[in-house]
Amino acid sequence: MPEEIEEIQEPTAHDFNQKHLLGLAHYSKEDILYVLDQARYFREILERPVPKVPTLRDKTIVNLFYESSTRTRLSFELAQKRMGADVVNFSAKASSVSKGESLKDTIRNISSMKIDMVVVRHESPGVPHFLTRCVDAAIINAGDGAHEHPTQALLDMYSMRDIHPDLQDKNIAIIGDIAHSRVVRSNIIGLTKIGANVTVCGPKTLMPVYVEELGATVSYNLEETLAWCDVAMALRIQLERQENGTELFPSIREYHQKFGITMKHLEKYPDFTIMHPGPVNRGVEMESEVADSKRSIILSQVTNGVAVRMAILYLLSGRSRV
């Protein structure tokens, strides 16, 4: 075994007994930290000359995507293949869903092919929970409407801990379209559980009431937010979830002027790190140079996503690690 693998500290023992990952609302602080610690091991595996382990050999996993995805779908598929699983990819557009088949019938048909795990993305909140009542397989939520995107929040927290190993009392700003974001909801739930302070910032029309109930504070002032934070995570404006395009703010140009992160902000506030779950709309939530700057860890988030998803697949598989 290479030297660097031997140096990895084993996670503190924890009785992880979750069957599914439907959302971080169902995970304790200890569960979250345990997943993040396990992911450190898999992150090291990804640096090996042969970045593979046989942990999921003989396990069959279906990736059930009813909504478009680049990062999440590829990241799950890569994680599964790195762990030796048999992988089946289902895309709603190319399936019998287009012939009128219901979600329940689709999943029952897939399930009768003897699958162990389902990774699901769907535009309707609650679909992952619904699937737990239809099949015996472990269900992993890869994003359900504006509800939760738990593996994104886990990889975000993992990436923040690369820079701030203890997130207790660190200041995390999430900026942009808060109302339509499942990423923000999972991040607020996860980050507040592990002791970070979260402020959400964006136009009033994109600010849902529930964020304060979840433990975040609200700001409408980008300058104050950037002066305060250790990490600034920008979110995409989800025009596809707004009924008439830009009706919730006057124009994309005005949005960028008020809430877009610029190179001037990076000069003025020299300490915060830039994150974004992707896809980035350059020139809207941030200037293109900001996304590519040394302060940005956007591509590290994607790399870490594979390790975090390997960790969750391992933990829900009931298998030993290697």
Q: Is 240 in the site for ligand CP (CB under 6 A)?
A: no
Least Cβ distance, residue 152 to ligand CP (angstroms): 5
Q: Is 190 in the site for ligand CP (CB under 6 A)?
A: no
Structure tokens that stand for 200 in this block: 């959400």
Residues 133-162 that bind ligand CP (CB under 6 A): 143, 149, 152
Continuous segment of H or E residues that includes residue 152: helix 150-163
13: left (phi over 0), alpha (psi -120 to 50) or beta: beta
Q: Under a CB-based contact definition with an 8 Å cutoff, are residues 311 and 79 in contact?
A: no
Q: Of 72, 80, 186, 304, which lies in the binding site for ligand CP, with binding defined by CB under 6 A?
A: 72
- Listing DSSP states for 25-72 in one string gives GGS-HHHHHHHHHHHHHHHHHTTSSS----TTTT-EEEEEESS--SHH
Closest CB to ligand CP among residues 82, 121 = 121
Q: Which stretch binds ligand CP (CB under 6 A): 35-43, 44-52, 63-71, 222-230?
A: 63-71
- Listing DSSP states for 85-96 in one string gives -EEEEEEGGGSG
**CA-CA distance, 110 to 284, in Å (whole number)?**
40
Q: Is 299 in the site for ligand CP (CB under 6 A)?
A: no
Residues 278-297: x/- map of binding to ligand CP (CB under 6 A)?
Answer: xx------------------
Q: Under a CB-based contact definition with an 8 Å cutoff, are residues 175 and 225 in contact?
A: yes
Q: Is 319 in the site for ligand CP (CB under 6 A)?
A: no
**CA-CA distance, 27 to 167, in Å (whole number)?**
17
10 Å Cβ neighbour count for 28? 13
Least Cβ distance, residue 60 to ligand CP (angstroms): 22
Q: Of 128, 190, 203, 277, which lies in the binding site for ligand CP, with binding defined by CB under 6 A?
A: 277
**CA-CA distance, 110 to 104, in Å (whole number)?**
10
Least Cβ distance, residue 143 to ligand CP (angstroms): 6
Q: Is 81 in the site for ligand CP (CB under 6 A)?
A: no
Residues 99-128 that bind ligand CP (CB under 6 A): none
Closest CB to ligand CP among residues 51, 278 = 278
Q: Of 18, 60, 69, 238, which lies in the binding site for ligand CP, with binding defined by CB under 6 A?
A: 69
Instruction: Name the site residues for ligand CP (rule: CB under 6 A).
Output: 69-72, 143, 149, 152, 277-279
